[in-house]
Amino acid sequence: MKALKALLKHVDVIKIWGNSDIPLSGLQHDSRKIVKGNCFFAVGGFKFNGIDYLPEAIRNGANSVISEFPLNRRYNNLTWVQVRNTRKAITKMAAQWAGNPSDQMYVIGVTGTNGKTTVVSLIHSILSSQEPTAKMGTLGLEYKAESGDQAVFEKTSLTTPEAPDIFGFFSRIFKQGCRNVAMEVSSVGLKLHRVEDVYFSQGIFTSFSGDHLDFHKTMRSYLDSKLMLFKKLGPEAWAILNADEEDVYHQIIEHLNCKYLTYGFSPSADVKPLKYEFSLDGIQSVIETPRGKIEIESRLIGRVNLLNLLAAISSAIIKDVPPDDIARAIKSLKPVRGRLDFTYQNDFSVIIDYAHTDQALKNLLESLKEIAVGRIILVFGAGGSRDKSKRPRMGEVASIYADYVVVTSDNPRNEKPESIINDILGGFKTGFNSYTTIVNREEAIKKALDLVKKDDLLVVAGKGHEDYQIFKDRTIHFDDYEVVRRELAERESRGRRHA
């Protein structure tokens, strides 16, 4: 146990009521997870205020509360700390509680609209070939103990978890002998100060395009949140920047107080492909780097994945991984789940991808256009209760790059699926009529399978790794992989019966 007072050392405290020397058994922002002796952070939310859940926190055993509000006299028997910013208090106290593990680790933070999950997975795979390395992000937490053979997986509900969860994870893996971690750093996580007290050795910028405007409201605010990662990099740290994103790349450089390396297809990039070949079997390329040329072969497909590989190679070079080891690790890499991932390859192919923004969809379809033999048939939708402005842009991209489109539901949440679909259709280019709309996502996938012919590529986009679908009144199990595989198995079975 640690005393509350010791954890408040770097927190901007306005006033304390009660005993600040009270011992704590832990820190918690979720009243449902409070146990006896916990300190409860009453965080202001977007729909609810944490202070409303204080009675539940007390019933579950909270002995103290951190809040931006002054003491409520109903809780005189509770130690109450009023702070300037509750979210900043969380990260500072969580870091202190865990012993500031990131100060003793090599933490690589990856931010950008698209590519975060793939780049983190690639870096994790390459560095794991050298020494114990962990990863954190959309696909969960993964690490392998120094003394163990089996990887440990933990699910997360957020791309960038809350600070107590981040520092708790760091503390666990540090005790297991893991000194490297690659993590996704979302704009929301940055804006809400979840990583404010994380010490980053590398910050990687992948891409920037419209997303999360339901939260950030403007593109300027969205970019400013991304910039927070690079502004906090110290003189010994490295920024790794996508030189193809020229406008944003130059804006990031203006704020750097660290060394930097660039990557991309741009001739000016420090890490760039000298030649490359794309096919449905993967990528072959010769990469120029400050450490010499690296010849790579990868099972990953498409131009967008070569760009992701360039980011990961840049990170590994800075970490002093030998070029031959980088090439060897890349050759053994498996596709990342839900990211340009084949779930079926035979006379036609089916690819599952998480693309849920217009730019991600464009990158995906452009990459496939370069290697497709037959048509590209696309199934996709857009999430409800989220940024509506990207829907018509996604529709425009689909109508430009796909040969046939089945527009369906994604996670409609509190909106009517039909309204979301209509927003998408509003962006279709004039005269485009090679499409149909089917609200039920499973039926939409079945319809697309009815349409495919030899050499076609069927792309099911938007949900990727997700195994659920969110409606207004319920969340159901739904997995694009399962639907595709089940339907293909049933069709094969019917074909055998009729033979």
**Of residues 36, 72, 35, 37, the one with CA closest to residue 51:** 72
Q: What is the pLDDT of residue 215?
A: 62
User: In this predicted model, what pLDDT tens digit does every residue of 373-428 receive, in sequence order?
Assistant: 999 999 999 999 888 999 999 999 999 999 999 999 999 999 999 999 999 999 99
Domain boundary at 96, 124, 148, which? 96
Least confident window among 47-56, 452-461, 485-494? 47-56
Residues 43 and 147 in one domain: no
CA 204 – CA 110 distance, rounded (Å): 5
Residues 133 and 188 in one domain: yes
Residues 324 and 412 in one domain: no
Q: What single string gives the DSSP state of each residue in 345-375?
A: ESSSEEEEE---SHHHHHHHHHHHHTT-SS-
DSSP, collapsed to helix, strand or coil, labels residue 454 as coil
CA 236 – CA 103 distance, rounded (Å): 13
Residues 304 and 383 in one domain: no
Q: Mean pLDDT of all residues in the chain?
A: 92
Residues 392 and 441 in one domain: yes
* Stated pTM of the model: 0.88
Residue 493 has pLDDT above 90, yes or no: no
What percent of the chain shows pLDDT beyond 90? 82
Q: What is the pLDDT of residue 265?
A: 97
Average pLDDT of span 435-447 = 98
Which two tokens mark 459? Answer: 């792309």
CATH number, position 193: 3.40.1190.10
Residue 50 has pLDDT above 90, yes or no: no
User: In this predicted model, what pLDDT tens digit does every residue of 238-294 receive, in sequence order?
Assistant: 999 999 988 888 899 999 999 999 999 999 999 999 999 999 999 999 999 999 999
Q: What region does 144 belong to: left with phi over 0, alpha with psi -120 to 50, or beta?
A: beta
Rg of the chain, C-alpha, whole Å: 24
Residues 41 and 125 in one domain: no
Residues 366 and 227 in one domain: no
Helix (H) or strand (E) holding 482: helix 480-498
Residues 85 and 108 in one domain: no
Q: What is the pLDDT of residue 498?
A: 44
Domain boundary at 96, 113, 145, which? 96
pLDDT confidence bin for 212, thresholds 50/70/90: low
Q: What is the pLDDT of residue 136?
A: 95
User: To the nearest 10°, the Cα dihedral for 48, 50, 52, 55?
Assistant: 150
Residues 136 and 83 in one domain: no
CATH number, position 58: 3.40.1390.10
CA 38 – CA 35 distance, rounded (Å): 6
Classify residue 271 by its DSSP letter. Answer: B
Average pLDDT of span 15-20 = 96
Helix axes 417-425, 390-401, angle to 10 degrees: 60
Classify residue 104 by its DSSP letter. Answer: G
Owning domain of residue 292: 99-332
Q: Which pairing describes strands 2-3 and 13-17: parallel, antiparallel, or unpaired?
A: unpaired
Helix, strand, coil distribution of the chain in percent, nearest 5: 35, 25, 40
Listed in sequence order, the residues at least 6 apart from 265 whose beta carbon sits closer than 8 Å to its beta carbon are 244, 272, 273, 307
pLDDT confidence bin for 45, thresholds 50/70/90: low
Q: Which pairing describes strands 349-353 and 272-279: parallel, antiparallel, or unpaired?
A: unpaired
CA 327 – CA 295 distance, rounded (Å): 7
CA 81 – CA 16 distance, rounded (Å): 5
Residues 78 and 25 in one domain: yes
Q: What is the pLDDT of residue 46?
A: 56
Q: What is the pLDDT of residue 40?
A: 97
CA 97 – CA 99 distance, rounded (Å): 6
Q: What is the pLDDT of residue 217?
A: 67
Average pLDDT of span 124-150 = 86
CA 164 – CA 110 distance, rounded (Å): 20
CA 403 – CA 377 distance, rounded (Å): 6
Amino acid code (one letter) for 462? G
CA 196 – CA 171 distance, rounded (Å): 17
User: In this predicted model, what pLDDT tens digit does every residue of 317-361 receive, in sequence order?
Assistant: 999 999 999 999 999 998 899 999 999 999 999 999 999 999 999
Cβ contact 289:317 at 8 Å: yes
Residues 138 and 269 in one domain: yes
Domain boundary at 96, 111, 144, which? 96
Cβ contact 462:381 at 8 Å: yes
Domains contained in the chain, number: 3
CATH number, position 384: 3.90.190.20
Which two tokens mark 212? Answer: 């999360």
Q: What is the pLDDT of residue 246?
A: 86
Q: What is the pLDDT of residue 147?
A: 63
Residues 311 and 189 in one domain: yes
Average pLDDT of span 456-461 = 98
